[in-house]
Amino acid sequence: MISRKNASISKFIIHKVGNKFNDTKNAFSEKVVDFDEASYDLMLPFLLRPFASTVQSHRFNHHANISLNEINNYTTQIFNEDEAFIEVSKHIVMHLYEQSTSANIKTGDVLIVLFEGIEFNDITTNALGVFKIESKVNFFQTYLENNSYDVLVQKGINSKKVDKGCLILNQTDEEGNIIFSVDNNSYDAQYWINQFLNIKYADDSNSHTQQYLELCKDFSTDILKTSYGIQEQNTFLAKTIDFFKENEVVNVERFKDELFEENKYKNEFDDYKKSFEGEMNLVIRNQFDVAERVVNKEKKKIKTDIKLDTNIQIKLDIDAPDASTEYLERGYDEEKKMHYYKVFFNAEN
């Protein structure tokens, strides 16, 4: 995660990116934006806020040589050549345009921003931000005409969130530049991550933890929920989070031994893991350190409600993984021809 408390914008330019499939063209600015105080005070947190809670980082990628990664080269130019900012920012937009391999990819505003004072891991550095604004919101604008006020509808940028954005730090480790990416309109995540930026997850505990939890969530939905029901799915997810909270290191074999009593579940999990790795183009380690921040973040996303078609919901506590097995019983009533849940308890809270 980054800190923006001492961050500032040193250069900022806006271009527009088109889509070659629907014959819309790029449009370029020739000057950087000169902010007034009110616009600047709104823009700075708008751009950096999404990265405050991002724990996973990326690194540049290329199938042949990392020096051939376009955004890597453009970033290096901007960091090293102060006068190159405007011209290189245009090249970034042209590269984005060339990745429009589908008519579904949206046109929009592209903001190229050079930041100073970004803090990450107790180091202060500058960073390059690339943001794409794909959607505009309607707002009312009042105006005075002939001594009376009237109203019209205009479109503008929603100041609550960016659609797509990346922050490339002028700070490296053994894998290269540290990069953060956000995508709130993930209709085509491959377009932004793989084709435009061409980045991969860093080889660290954050990524290993995230990937394994994603595997478990997908397995619970595609296999457990489909074949064995929501109760089985939710119990598995609760036990998964509990395992990650109780262990500093995850060993895959030990994980399966603790979570699955029957070999058929282990075999299904192994088969699903292989297909998951193939689809995601990654290899999940058999042992890795747990990133507690990632676990806490993913835990908040997991829903353990059982929603019934009789307008009744059963909410399971993810911090009590054994409660579902011990105090919740599922059955079928032959007389009513309906499924039921039986809940055991001592007292109502």
Q: What is the mean pLDDT of residues 191-205?
A: 91
CB 318 within 8 A of CB 241: yes
Yes or no: say if 273 and 256 are a contact pair by the CB < 8 Å rule. Answer: no
Report pLDDT for 315.
84
The token pair at 150 is 């009237």
- For 13-65, the pLDDT digits (tens) are 999 999 988 889 999 999 999 999 999 999 999 999 999 888 889 999 998 99
> Sign of torsion, CA 269 270 271 275?
positive
For 275-279, what is the mean pLDDT?
A: 91
Of 73-77, 108-112, 202-206, the poorest mean pLDDT is in 202-206
The string of pLDDT tens digits covering residues 103-119 is 888 899 999 999 999 99
Using one digit for the tens of pLDDT, what is the confidence trace for 18-32?
998 888 999 999 999
Q: State mean pLDDT over 155-183.
A: 89
| Average pLDDT for 275-288 | 89
Beta carbons of 242 and 216 less than 8 angstroms apart: no
3-state secondary structure string across the chain: CEECCCCEEEEEEEEEECECCCCECCECCCCCCCCCHHHHHHHHHHHHHHHCCCCCCEEECCCCCHHHCHHHHHHHHHHHCHHHHHHHHHHHHHHHHHCCCCCCCCCEEEEEEEEEEEEECCEEEEEEEEEEECCEEEEEEEEEECCEEEEEEEEEECCCCCCEEEEEEEEEECCEEEEEEEECCHHHHHHHHHHHHCEEECCCHHHHHHHHHHHHHHHHHHHHHHHHCHHHHHHHHHHHHHHHHHCCEEEHHHHHHHHCCCHHHHHHHHHHHHHHHHHHCCCCCCEEECCHHHHHHHHHHCCCEEECCCCCEEECCCCCCCHHHHHEEEEEECCCCEEEEEECCCCCC
Q: What is the pLDDT of residues 231-269, one digit of tens each?
A: 889 999 999 999 999 999 999 999 999 999 888 899 999
Q: pLDDT band at residue 189, thresholds of 50, 70 and 90? A: low
pLDDT band at 186 (very low <50, low <70, confident <90, very high): low
Residue 139 is predicted with a pLDDT of 80
Q: What percent of the chain has pLDDT over 70?
A: 99
Long-range contacts, stretch 63-66, CB < 8 angstroms, 24+ apart:
66/176
The pLDDT of residue 304 is 80
Higher pLDDT, 89 or 174: 89
* Mean pLDDT of the residues in the chain: 90
Quote the CA–CA distance of 263 and 108 in Å, as a whole number: 51
